[in-house]
Amino acid sequence: MPCRTVVSHVDARRLVRLGGALLLSVTLAACAPRPTAERAPPHPDARVVPIHVAMLRPLADPGVKFGQERPEELNYFRARISVPPTHNPGQIEWPEGQPDPATDFVVAETKVYAGPDAMKRQMRRQAPGRPALVYIHGYNNSLSEAMYRLAQMQADFDTDLAPVLFSWPSAGDPRGYIYDRDSVLYARDYLERVLLQLTAGPGERVFLVAHSMGAHLLMEALRQAALSGDRRLLSRVAGVVLMSPDIDPDLFRKQAEVIGDLPEPFMIFVSRRDQILNLAGLLTGRKPRLGIIDNPEQLRGLDVTLVDFTNLSDGERYSHFVPVTSPAAISVLRGMIDQAGLRGSDFADFMRIPANP
């Protein structure tokens, strides 16, 4: 008799109720005004983080709306983000009313580049001889939110890499899940182009960090590089981190098989308390997404490291960004980076982080 998973009618109704409650809360959140990055002079004691941006959004109006024609050209610029001296790890201190650089994130300066070469020259001055840290944001992200998140990550983890944001045309609306999934497929050629631009020179490398649906976009771009036979680009990847990846595990396996030898290290950060991925599972057929799997056997045969942050979740942002919003997780992850993360040392095949590290 074939093995089957049986879900009772009571359990099914409970799943639907839970999913409906979460969907309602997310929909209500969509009605609230989204915060926007604002300019102001930095506080003398603030940390100013330069963020380089390659975006598939128009410079004049980087917001994306349903039904809007997606851009066909990449734009490049730099934003210097002022992180306030009162900053708490894991937080983005958005202003309430008029921004105060002493307590809030603000944009201190922006500079538009004519193309990727001008941006790369500035990056090399900032972090000579080091890989670029490329961050691909997830679903339901505005440009302002993605820039501030990368600045927060750079401030909290204090890497010596030049941070680059790849901003794809997410609708920035919780109701835009399907729109964003289409935007991921639309943007994969452009992400591959940016990675080729950043690794075109001798010895140039990239360390890739992708969150949520952005992980799907990254895997598609790497898959395309493999299908085109471009092993040179894949060899220039210094490491990959997928945080809370919103990918079907079966699809991920197929993507990984096409890519072949995965970049090292290749880490997947998961949390079984991730409410957004639980909702995504309901929307896509009640199958757990890659970011909430709890059994390394599901990834047997793939050279990846699964890191479980469940016990370090503090409930922020629906537990969908635990590694960079939970102070405890940030502390653990900083230790991992210092010991091995960006120097290519080996991790265990599977790591379960205790509740009290």
- The whole-number pLDDT of residue 32 equals 58
H or E stretch covering 336: helix 327-336
The answer to whether position 283 is within a domain reads yes
| pLDDT above 90 as % of the chain | 67
The answer to whether position 6 is within a domain reads no
Nearest to 274 by CA among 295, 296, 253, 289: 289
How far, CA to CA in Å, does 169 sit from each of 33, 128, 143, 185? Answer: 19, 30, 9, 11
Query: 166 has which bridge partners?
Result: 54, 136
Q: CB burial class (10 A; 0-12, 13-18, 19+) of residue 298? A: middle
pLDDT tens for 6-23 read 333 334 454 444 444 445
Name the amino acid, one letter, at 337: I
Q: What is the DSSP letter of 39?
A: B
- The whole-number pLDDT of residue 297 equals 83
- The whole-number pLDDT of residue 328 equals 92
- For residue 263, is the peptide bond before it cis, meaning its omega torsion is within 30 degrees of 0? no
How far apart are the C-alpha atoms of 14 and 20, rounded to whole Å? 10
How far apart are the C-alpha atoms of 243 and 107, rounded to whole Å? 26
Q: What is the pTM of this model?
A: 0.87
How far apart are the C-alpha atoms of 56 and 76, rounded to whole Å? 9
The answer to whether position 27 is within a domain reads no
Q: What angle do CA 290, 197, 182 make, to 5 degrees?
A: 40
- The whole-number pLDDT of residue 163 equals 96
The answer to whether position 18 is within a domain reads no
- The whole-number pLDDT of residue 225 equals 96
Residue 244 half-sphere exposure toward CB, CA atoms < 13 A: 30
The answer to whether position 330 is within a domain reads yes
Q: How many domains does the chain have?
A: 1
- The whole-number pLDDT of residue 341 equals 46
The answer to whether position 234 is within a domain reads yes
- The whole-number pLDDT of residue 64 equals 63
- The whole-number pLDDT of residue 67 equals 59
How far apart are the C-alpha atoms of 325 and 89, rounded to whole Å? 7
The answer to whether position 30 is within a domain reads no
- The whole-number pLDDT of residue 8 equals 35
Enclosing domain of residue 316:
36-352
pLDDT less than 70: residues of the chain: 1-32, 63-67, 337-357
CA-CA-CA-CA torsion sign (306, 310, 311, 316): positive
Query: 346 has which bridge partners?
Result: none
We report the CATH number of the domain holding residue 58 as 3.40.50.1820
- The whole-number pLDDT of residue 342 equals 46
The answer to whether position 23 is within a domain reads no
Residues 6 or more apart in contact with residue 238 via CB below 8 angstroms: 131, 205, 206, 207, 263, 342, 344
Query: What's the mean per-residue pLDDT of the chain?
Result: 86
Paired sense of beta strands 106-113 and 132-136, if any: unpaired
pLDDT tens for 173-204 read 888 999 999 999 999 999 999 999 999 999 99
236, 243 contact by CB (below 8 A): no
